[in-house]
Amino acid sequence: MSVTRKRLAAGTAGAVVAVLTLLTLSGCGGGSADEGEKVPETATGSLEQLASEVGCKPVMQTDADEIRQAICKNTDGDFDGKFILATFATDRGQAEWLSGAKDYGGHYLVGRKWVAVGETKAVKSLYSRLGGTIEEGVSHGSAEHGSSEGGSSEGGSSHSGHDG
């Protein structure tokens, strides 16, 4: 049974990567290539290497085997912005993290085993340097994201759906 689970997990991770690749190649990645910009090849590397590519010194929040996460602040002139940079040991770990994180809204720049999260301006600037795919979290209108209820969907009637 564990062999079946491993094969299923490998197949699921492979399917996610294949879908993202197809979306990126077909121009459905949500990026700004339609604005005439030359999009760089999606960056790869460690958290420190990715941070260096965009001129920030990461302040580590989490340094575990499966995820490394840091706060970055960039003030190099292209944009002044603060963002979260996370790297993952596996594609599956990244997919699970994104699935949970997108419920909080926001803008995500997604690469192979890494994600940058920040405001629109920062994510678009990072995209021009790191490549990847720009994705948006679930929009819950003008709801207070800082409430103690955490956007609970009890009853399901308070959520109008997802526009995408």
**What mean pLDDT comes out for the span 139-161?**
44
Residue 162 predicted with pLDDT over 70: no
Of the candidates 87, 51, 53, the one whose C-alpha atom is nearest the C-alpha of residue 72 is: 51
Look at residue 16 and tell me whether its pLDDT is greater than 90. Answer: no
pLDDT digits (tens, 9 = 90+) for 36-52: 567 789 999 999 999 99
**Residue 83: which residues within 8 A CB-CB, separation 6 or more?**
71, 72, 73, 74, 116, 117, 118, 119, 122, 123, 126
d(CA 156, CA 123) in angstroms, rounded, equals 31
Domain locations in the chain as residue ranges: 2-136
Cβ atoms of residues 130 and 42 within 8 Å:
yes
Residue 61 has pLDDT above 70, yes or no: yes
Burial zone of 112 (CB within 10 Å; 0-12 exposed, 13-18 middle, 19+ buried): middle
Q: What is the pTM of this model?
A: 0.63
Is the model more confident about 101 or about 78? 101
